């Protein structure tokens, strides 16, 4: 004789089994593996036109919905803790957090939320979205590339992408004069998502 609890449990088990079978849902949600640090947001900018300065944002979180059958139906969003900017130099990082650059006490978060994904090749796509930095929101397009995916050795399922983009600092209200060679910042993103 089944109790109500047992009945509810079996419904739940069947439900979860259906949901995880991969047959029911075509689009699947992935959480970026920031916990295991298999996700990176790096930037580079010219120093005087003589060399590249590299840095990264150490703290962020993001997720993406991947529809492998219909990539246009996918989406991605990322939230960045701007204060985590790290260029491997304590005084420069403090300067970057201050009002001359990111002004993190007023604008602690940056974000990217995709609005449109266009497949451009077998493994490539253009991801357009709303990018918010220092309180300014503007459309930004990432050139994204599928790197790989599949079962990981620990019972999970992962997919990884890399993407590049660039923008003018001035477009987001950062007008500290670093010189003519240093107006544009290049972004490189590499993320691995764990299927939820």
Partner 1 sequence: MRLKNTTSDYGMVSVLVHWLSALLAVGVFGLGLYMVGLSYYDPLYHELPEWHKFLGVALALITLFRLLWCVISTPPLLLAKQSWQKMAARLAHGLLLLGLVVLPVTGYLIVTAEGKALLLFDLALLPALIELSPTQTDWVGRLHLWSAWGLIGLALVHAAAALKHHFVDADRTLTRMLNIKGQ
Binding site for partner 1 (CB under 8 A): 83-86, 88-91, 93-94, 97-98, 104-105, 176-179
End-to-end CA distance of the chain: 35
Closest CB to partner 1 among residues 40, 157: 40
* Residue 142 CA, distance from chain mean position: 10
> Minimum distance from CB of 137 to partner 1 (Å)?
23
Closest CB to partner 1 among residues 87, 166: 87
> Minimum distance from CB of 83 to partner 1 (Å)?
4
> Minimum distance from CB of 31 to partner 1 (Å)?
24
> Minimum distance from CB of 59 to partner 1 (Å)?
9
Closest CB to partner 1 among residues 67, 93: 93
> Minimum distance from CB of 37 to partner 1 (Å)?
17
Closest CB to partner 1 among residues 22, 98: 98
Closest CB to partner 1 among residues 54, 83: 83
């Amino acid at each position: 004789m089944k109790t109500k609890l047992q009945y509810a449990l079996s419904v739940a088990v069947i439900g979860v089994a259906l949901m995880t079978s991969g047959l029911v849902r075509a689009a699947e949600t992935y959480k970026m593996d920031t916990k295991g640090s298999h996700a990176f947001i790096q930037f580079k900018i010219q120093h005087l036109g003589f060399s590249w300065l590299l840095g990264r944002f150490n703290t962020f979180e993001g997720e993406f919905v991947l529809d492998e059958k219909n990539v246009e139906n996918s989406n991605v969003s990322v939230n960045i803790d701007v204060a985590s900017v790290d260029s491997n130099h304590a005084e420069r990082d403090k300067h970057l957090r201050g009002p001359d650059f990111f002004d993190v006490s007023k604008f602690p978060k940056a974000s990217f939320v995709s609005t449109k994904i266009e497949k451009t090749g077998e493994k490539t796509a253009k991801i357009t979205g709303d990018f918010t930095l220092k309180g300014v929101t503007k459309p930004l397009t990432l050139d994204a590339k599928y790197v790989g995916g599949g079962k990981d050795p620990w019972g999970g399922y992962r997919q990884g992408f890399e993407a590049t983009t660039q923008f003018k600092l001035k477009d987001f209200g950062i007008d500290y004069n670093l010189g003519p060679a240093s107006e544009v910042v290049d972004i490189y993103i590499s993320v691995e998502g764990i299927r939820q």
